[in-house]
């Protein structure tokens, strides 16, 4: 790709990048407990305190607790644990092919899948990159969505990837910091560099290092014939989970932090002594040690001495803060209920507990199941694509079929399930399906193989037993 085309492509792709990143990055910030309350405080308490201090009013309202409740992390981890605690079991046609696929996927498959689910929940979409390593072995790993700028083919109704731009920081041997751009299409990957201090229009092709034996811009062929990145969307709109309930979390954090502020402020008791003015100036010293008289800050005086004088008839009055506990507690309770509904999550403190029936557990998890199902629908074809790539580059060929069996991580009424399986005749449900659905079976494929092995062993043992009803003329040992 030539420089002029690359600059045009980069300018178009980066046009709305900052706005899109700001919106998408909110999910990551809230997940790490850095919600809006950290910047604004409860009802912008900084500005309010400054205004009240200037007026000399409401000195009791001065606490500034900023407590994020971290509900977003609870909701996301609940969904990810529900979906990906048990990675989907894959079947591509035969036990031998399944074993080869499992070996090619490696032990990191479940961990990478969880990370993709986490990124998709926070950013709206996640990205997986597959590549050939220095040992000519196919590898795959997740890539931060912050690094990826997809360019779709808008002339195709399915919106396939036309180009993919990956951008990240790098530092050369001289300590100079650069932005590096990889521009992928189905034929090649071109590399471009831009110094961090320069503008986007100053991007230049990256040159091969002298010791490599090559000259000219760095362009590598794409060995796959397609862009080696797979997009995993959170839902059909590629929106983050946070968008469903961010405003509710912000309100909850403000109310909760305001409650903590009131608890702190109620400890502040001020005595109003009528007809006693008290001191109105104080002595301070400059940098050279010279004393000078300055007016007392009323708010500082109140905090230090806990009393204030006023021009009225003699007397003493005590002022302290009040907490509208009942109204605020009710509002927090209503907010919490609405939060779980908006987040489509499961309340960990339901009204009923104990040995609940399967129907009641399904009722508790119905919203979470709907949300998880939308993510599963988006992830299934992408996992199929990864399997086809692995099958192609490991010699398995095109799979005759690809089946994914997903297992939810939720409480179950095992007695009900086992009874239902036992009471279902084989004319309705096969033994293989019964093994898949049995709650005590973790890997149904291994379980079916073990069942076949034990059945074969029993038949061999039966063949070794003496035959009953033999020839009556045979001699009998006495």
* E-only strand ranges, 77-227: 89-91, 125-132, 138-143, 148-152, 161-171, 177-184, 188-195, 204-205, 219-221
User: How far separated are the first and last CA of the chain, in Å rounded?
Assistant: 96
> What does the pLDDT average to over 155-166?
92
pLDDT band of 478, cuts 50, 70, 90: very low
- Quote the pTM value: 0.75
What pLDDT does 435 receive? 87
Closest CA to 164 of 119, 128, 204, 110: 128
Give start and end residues of each alpha helix (H) in 169-277.
246-265
Question: Is the pLDDT assigned to residue 56 strictly greater than 60?
Answer: no
Question: Is the pLDDT assigned to residue 285 strictly greater than 70?
Answer: yes
Kindly state the percentage of the chain with pLDDT values over 90.
34
Whole-number average pLDDT of the chain: 81
Residue 279 corresponds to which tokens in the numbers above?
């001191």
Question: Is the pLDDT assigned to residue 83 strictly greater than 90?
Answer: yes
Tokens 């900052």 correspond to 18
Closest CA to 27 of 75, 66, 65, 67: 75
Residue 244 corresponds to which tokens in the numbers above?
């469903």
What pLDDT does 367 receive? 94
Of 79-83, 167-171, 399-403, 462-466, highest mean pLDDT: 79-83
Question: Is the pLDDT assigned to residue 114 strictly greater than 80?
Answer: yes
What pLDDT does 316 receive? 44
Q: What distance in Å separates the CA atoms of residue 18 and residue 28, rounded to the nearest whole number?
A: 15
What pLDDT does 144 receive? 94
Residue range 209-226, pLDDT digits in tens = 654 555 567 888 999 999
Q: What distance in Å separates the CA atoms of residue 176 and residue 170, rounded to the nearest whole number?
A: 8
Residue range 394-452, pLDDT digits in tens = 888 888 889 999 988 887 777 777 888 888 888 888 888 888 888 888 788 888 889 98
Question: Is the pLDDT assigned to residue 471 strictly greater than 80?
Answer: no
Residue range 231-255, pLDDT digits in tens = 999 999 999 999 999 999 999 988 8
What pLDDT does 21 receive? 77
Closest CA to 69 of 90, 99, 38: 38
């Amino acid at each position: 790709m030539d420089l002029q085309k690359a600059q045009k492509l980069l300018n178009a792709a980066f046009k709305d990048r900052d706005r899109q990143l700001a919106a998408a990055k909110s999910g990551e910030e809230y997940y790490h407990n850095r919600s809006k309350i950290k910047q604004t405080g409860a009802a912008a308490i900084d500005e309010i305190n400054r205004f009240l201090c200037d007026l000399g009013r409401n000195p009791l309202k001065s606490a500034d607790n900023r407590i994020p409740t971290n509900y977003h992390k609870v909701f996301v981890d609940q969904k990810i644990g529900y979906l990906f605690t048990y990675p989907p079991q894959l079947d591509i046609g035969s036990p031998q092919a399944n074993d080869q696929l499992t070996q090619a996927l490696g032990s990191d498959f479940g961990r990478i899948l969880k990370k993709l689910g986490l990124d998709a929940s926070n950013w709206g979409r996640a990205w997986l990159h597959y590549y050939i390593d220095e040992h000519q072995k196919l590898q795959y790993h997740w890539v931060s969505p912050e690094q990826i700028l997809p360019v779709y083919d808008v002339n195709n109704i399915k919106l396939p990837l036309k180009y993919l731009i990956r951008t990240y920081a790098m530092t050369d041997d001289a300590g100079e910091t650069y932005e590096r751009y990889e521009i992928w299409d189905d034929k090649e990957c071109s590399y471009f560099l831009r110094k961090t201090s320069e503008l986007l229009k100053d991007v230049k092709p990256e040159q091969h290092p002298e010791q490599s034996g090559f000259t000219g811009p760095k362009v590598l062929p794409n060995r796959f014939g397609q862009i080696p990145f797979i997009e995993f969307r959170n839902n059909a709109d590629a929106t983050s989970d946070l968008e469903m309930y961010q405003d509710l979390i912000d309100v909850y954090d403000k109310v909760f932090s305001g409650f903590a502020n009131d608890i702190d402020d109620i400890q502040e008791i001020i005595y109003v002594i009528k007809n006693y003015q008290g001191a109105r100036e104080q002595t301070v010293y400059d940098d050279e040690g010279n004393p000078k008289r300055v007016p007392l800050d009323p708010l500082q005086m109140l905090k230090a001495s806990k009393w204030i004088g006023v021009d009225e008839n003699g007397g003493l009055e005590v002022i302290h803060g009040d907490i509208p506990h009942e109204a605020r507690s009710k509002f927090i309770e209503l907010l919490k209920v609405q939060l779980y509904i908006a987040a489509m999550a499961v309340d960990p403190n339901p009204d009923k507990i104990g040995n609940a029936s399967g129907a009641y557990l399904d009722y508790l998890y119905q919203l979470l199941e709907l949300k998880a199902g939308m993510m599963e629908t988006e992830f299934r074809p992408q996992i199929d694509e990864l399997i086809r790539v692995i099958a192609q580059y490991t010699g398995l060929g095109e799979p005759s079929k690809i089946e994914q069996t997903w297992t939810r991580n939720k409480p179950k009424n095992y007695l009900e399930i086992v009874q239902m399986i036992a009471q279902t005749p084989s004319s309705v449900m096969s033994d293989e399906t019964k093994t898949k659905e049995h709650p005590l079976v973790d890997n149904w494929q291994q379980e079916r193989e073990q069942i076949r092995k034990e059945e074969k062993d029993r038949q061999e043992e039966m063949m070794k037993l003496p035959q009953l009803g033999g020839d009556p003329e045979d001699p009998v040992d006495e």
